[in-house]
A and B are shown apart, each in its own frame.
Chain A
Amino acid sequence: MRFWVNISVVFASLLVFGLLKDSFESSLREEMYEEDLLPRQMSFRDRDKLGQAGYAVILGGLRPTLASLMNLRAHNIQGEGDWYAAHEVYEKIVAMQPNSSYYWDYGAWHMILNASGDAMNDQSMTPAERELLWKEYWHLGHAFLEKGLEENPGDQVLLDTQATQWLNSHRMTKPGDAVDNFYFMLESKDENYKTYLYETKVLYTLLVIPGREAEAYEGFVNVWKNSKYFQRNPSVRVSLSILQESLQIAPEHRIPDADLFPNNRVKMTMYKNFYRVKCNTFALKRLTDQPYLNPSLYMSLVRTIRDLERELNEPPSTRMNIEDIYTYKPW
């Protein structure tokens, strides 16, 4: 009898205490969610994706460890070339670690670059099949990045990867959007952003887009005159030079050639190096590759190289082999 009395009293007391502490606990939980102190509750869909592991991670600290182990698994699967399976593993990983840009970046990069590259080189398929698979992997990778940015708005690693992949020379798809990403990071007030990286990155990307040469020129002049990072490297000098030529800037408004290059021989070397960097001749032999210069700037660059070679009496054997490689393909 006493046992049951005890049980009843204990339950009644727990009920009263429970009612009192429930509101305190609920408000504490809400506060913690607001302050980002608790991991967001995993959706049941994500939990399903993870299977039994999904229930194990609820217990707390296991998420980063499990994610790392699954990352190793994804790495092995990629080695076998099963890209869909690897992508599925990354979906699970980011369900556990949605705020770790490392996994979003890594998973997307594999799909956009490695999986699609693998598809393009798969000789067991017809060219049309290869193209189809290439596109599918590419879209999967970009969709993954988009999801990563939804989870981590403004994350620099992800914004940079996204822009870089839009600018991928193997299939340059959205240089305009890449410029927007770079501008966003350049103008950000976030101290963690490496704004100095985007000061010139945004301008080099503008060189790719027809019709935005004036904007690029204005930016390069600004870098030349005001950059606090003293960015007067050869690429900035050549960009300014070809933009002045291409935009036919009046001589009195130009930055004189003498300021940009100590002499014509150095100028020619810088131009040739710029050509090698922006219009990689090896990469351009591939079907889908594009140079990092728009057609008019490309022509200006080539013209100047030829003029300088003539002016400096370069023997034909040392002249740059340009024409037989380049055929411009608009995107």
Chain B
Amino acid sequence: MSDKVGFISPSRIWVIATNTFTQLVRMKVFYFLVVFAVIILALNFFELPGARSTASIAEQHLRVLKGSALFAMESFAVIFAIAATALLLPKDVEDRTLYTILCKPVPRLDYLFGKLLGVVLVIFVAVAIMDILMSVSLHFRMSGLVEEELVKTKTKLLRQGFTDEALINAELVKREANILAHGVTMNLQWGVIAVFFKAVVIAGVAILLSTFSSSTLFTIIVCAIVYFIGHFQSDARQLFLEGTEEHWKGFKMISKAIPIFFPDFQVYGISEAAKEATLIPRVMVVKLFLLTGMYSCVYVVLSWFVFRKKEF
């Protein structure tokens, strides 16, 4: 029997990932879902001032619900990704679990991949539960609005003197389709997936930082900074690269360097399109998936490089 240990073993990674999942679940991380549910419930009672009834008021109601839910979803997922990942390595050291694992024939790369996969699994479950809560709530809200709007549209048409059944039916079908486009659609799910991808990338950053740092707080703070830079970098580029001011030369250099070292989180902003019911082509989601995969792999490999000879 050979003693040689394979560099990457999916089954080993899976065992570590499921252990990490259990470890995080035992830390009662899913309690925040109660807060999310309350937010969703509260949003259902939100009403826009309706003194003027325009054609798009129902869609606007749904936009508000989707926008707030996606924002809450992203906030929870990102905070969770940063905190959980930053906590994992120090906790394993503290509990001495790390020694038990590393004294076995487990390559450190497998350990790191397993840890990240465990966090990704928890984020996935959390996002999926939040998605279900949002979708159920959105469905009920949308059904109510469709009913209300169809009665309103029919009454309006009759008041305007249109009695032709075919015209009324065609108009009702059109109105319903417009509102349904703002409901629970595949498009909305792409937006949710983009939120999940963003959290996965930030988890990758956190795992890289946690191999360097011995302080959880430091990792969390730096991750938060990376998250903000990732969002603001396109704006900084817009300001400094397109600006003509002489004294911005230094900033121009920095603006060019930032996207090289930091992930650009604005490309994950397709959830905005999901909110607006703009059709998201699948190819974009595939590209985002590839980008996320690239980031995660690079960050884990670099983490391994730092971690490979680290002594505890």
A interface with B by C-beta (< 8 Å): 2, 6-7, 9-11, 13-15, 17-19, 21-22, 24-26, 28-29, 31-32, 35-39, 41, 44, 58-65, 68, 71-72, 75, 99-102, 105-106, 109, 156-157, 191-192, 194, 196-197, 228-231, 233, 235
Q: With an 8 A cutoff between CB atoms, is B104 at the interface?
A: no
Instruction: Judge whether A14 and B287 touch: CB under 8 Å.
Output: no
Are the C-beta atoms of B259 and A230 separated by less than 8 Å? no
Within 8 Å CB of A41, what residues of B? 234-235, 238
> Of B93-101, B144-152, B160-168, which binds chain A?
B160-168
The answer on a CB contact under 8 Å between A37 and B305 is no
Q: Secondary structure of the A side of the interface? A: helix
In contact, A106 and B54 (Cβ under 8 angstroms): yes
Chain B, residue nearest A100 (CB): B60
| Contact (A22, B259) CB under 8 Å given A37-B284, A231-B161 | yes
The answer to whether A65 touches B239, judged by C-beta atoms less than 8 angstroms apart, is no
Cβ A61 vs Cβ B54 within 8 A: no
Residues of B near A72 (CB, < 8 A) are 48-49
Instruction: Please give me the 9 A-B residue pairs with the lowest Cβ-Cβ distance, nearest first.
Output: A18-B260, A61-B71, A64-B67, A37-B273, A61-B70, A233-B161, A65-B68, A75-B49, A102-B60
For B271, give its contact among A2, A44, A60, A196 (CB under 8 Å).
Answer: A60
CA of A2 to CA of B174, assembled, Å: 66
Known: A28-B287, A58-B232, A65-B68. A106 touches B260 (CB 8 A): no
**Contact across chains for B54 and A28 when beta carbons are under 8 A apart:** no
- Contact pattern, B 255-279, Cβ under 8 Å of A = 1, otherwise 0: 0000111001011011111011010
Contact between B302 and A10, CB atoms less than 8 A apart? yes
A36 close to B273 (CB less than 8 A): yes
Contact with A along B64-80 (1 / 0, CB 8 A): 10111011001000000
Question: Which chain B residues have a beta carbon within 8 Å of chain A's beta carbons?
Answer: 46, 48-49, 51-52, 54-57, 59-60, 63-64, 66-68, 70-71, 74, 160-164, 167, 171, 174, 178, 208, 212, 231-232, 234-235, 238-239, 259-261, 264, 266-267, 269-273, 275-276, 278, 280-281, 284, 287-288, 291, 294-295, 298, 302, 305-306, 309
Q: When chains A and B are docked, how far (Å) is the Cα of A236 from the Cα of B238?
A: 56
Question: When the two chains form the complex, which single residue of A9, A35, A60, A71 contacts B281, counting CB atoms closer than 8 Å?
Answer: A35
CA distance A241 to B309 in the complex (A): 96
A2 surroundings in chain B (CB, below 8 A): 309
Question: Which of A2, A10, A37, A75 is most buried by chain B, counting CB atoms within 10 A of its CB?
Answer: A37
Given the known interface contacts A102-B57, A105-B52, the answer about A21 and B294 at a Cβ–Cβ threshold of 8 Å is yes
Roughly how many angstroms separate A22 CA and B59 CA in the complex, as a whole number?
A: 36
Q: How far is the CB of A224 from chain B (nearest CB, A)?
A: 14
Query: Taking the nearest CB of chain B, how far is it from the CB of A162, in angstroms?
Result: 13
Of B57, B231, B284, which is within 8 A of A58 by CB?
B231
Taking CB as reference atom, which chain A residue is nearest B73?
A: A61
Min CB distance B53 to A, Å, is 10
Taking CB atoms, residues of chain B closer than 8 Å to A233 are 161
Asked if A60 and B272 sit within 8 Å, CB to CB, the answer is yes
Given the contacts A44-B239, A196-B162, A19 and B54 also touching, CB distance less than 8 Å: no
Minimal Cβ-Cβ distance residue in B for A18: B260
* B123 smallest CB distance to A (angstroms): 16
- B275 contact set on A, CB distance < 8 A: 61, 64
Instruction: Please measure, in the bound complex, the distance between the C-alpha atom of A230 and the C-alpha atom of B162, giving whole angstroms.
Output: 8
Task: Decide: A35 and B52 in contact? CB cutoff 8 A.
Answer: no
- A10→B305 contact, CB < 8 A: yes
Query: From residue B137, how far is it (CB to closest CB) to chain A in Å?
Result: 15
Contacting residue for B267 out of A29, A61, A63, A197, CB 8 A:
A29
The CA of A192 and the CA of B170, in the complex, are separated in Å by 11
Do residues A29 and B306 form an inter-chain contact, with CB atoms below 8 A?
no
Cβ–Cβ < 8 Å partners of B261 in chain A: 11, 14-15, 18
CB nearest neighbor in B for A27: B287
Q: Which residues of A contact B67 (CB under 8 A)?
A: 61-65
Residue of B nearest to A59 (CB): B231
Tell me which of B64, B70, B238, B272 has the highest count of chain A C-beta atoms within 10 A of its own C-beta: B272
Docked Cα-Cα span, A139 to B161, in Å, equals 33
Q: Which of A6, A19, A31, A197 contacts B260 (CB 8 A)?
A: A19
Q: Return the contact of B270 from the options A38, A100, A109 (Cβ within 8 A).
A: A38
Cα separation A196 to B264 with both chains bound (whole Å): 47
Nearest B residue to A26 via CB reads B259
Chain A residues within an 8 Å CB radius of B267: 25, 28-29, 32, 38
Known: A29-B264, A61-B68, A105-B52; 20 extra A-B contacts, CB below 8 A, are: A10-B305, A14-B302, A17-B298, A25-B264, A29-B267, A35-B284, A37-B270, A61-B271, A61-B272, A64-B67, A65-B68, A75-B51, A100-B63, A102-B57, A156-B55, A157-B56, A192-B174, A196-B162, A231-B162, A235-B161
Q: Which A residues lie within 8 Å of B164 (CB)?
A: 228-230
Residues of B within 8 A of A22 (CB): 259-260
Q: Quick one: given A24-B291, A29-B267, A102-B57, are A37 and B235 in contact (CB under 8 Å)?
A: no
Contact A28 B305 (CB under 8 A): no
What residues of A have a CB within 8 angstroms of the CB of B281 in the complex? 35
- Measured CB to CB, the nearest residue on chain A to B170 is A196
B309 to chain A: closest CB distance in Å? 7
Which chain A residues lie closer than 8 Å to B160 at the CB level?
197
Known: A10-B302, A10-B306, A41-B235. A32 touches B54 (CB 8 A): no
Contact B276 A99 (CB under 8 A): yes
In angstroms, Cα B171 to Cα A191, docked, is 10
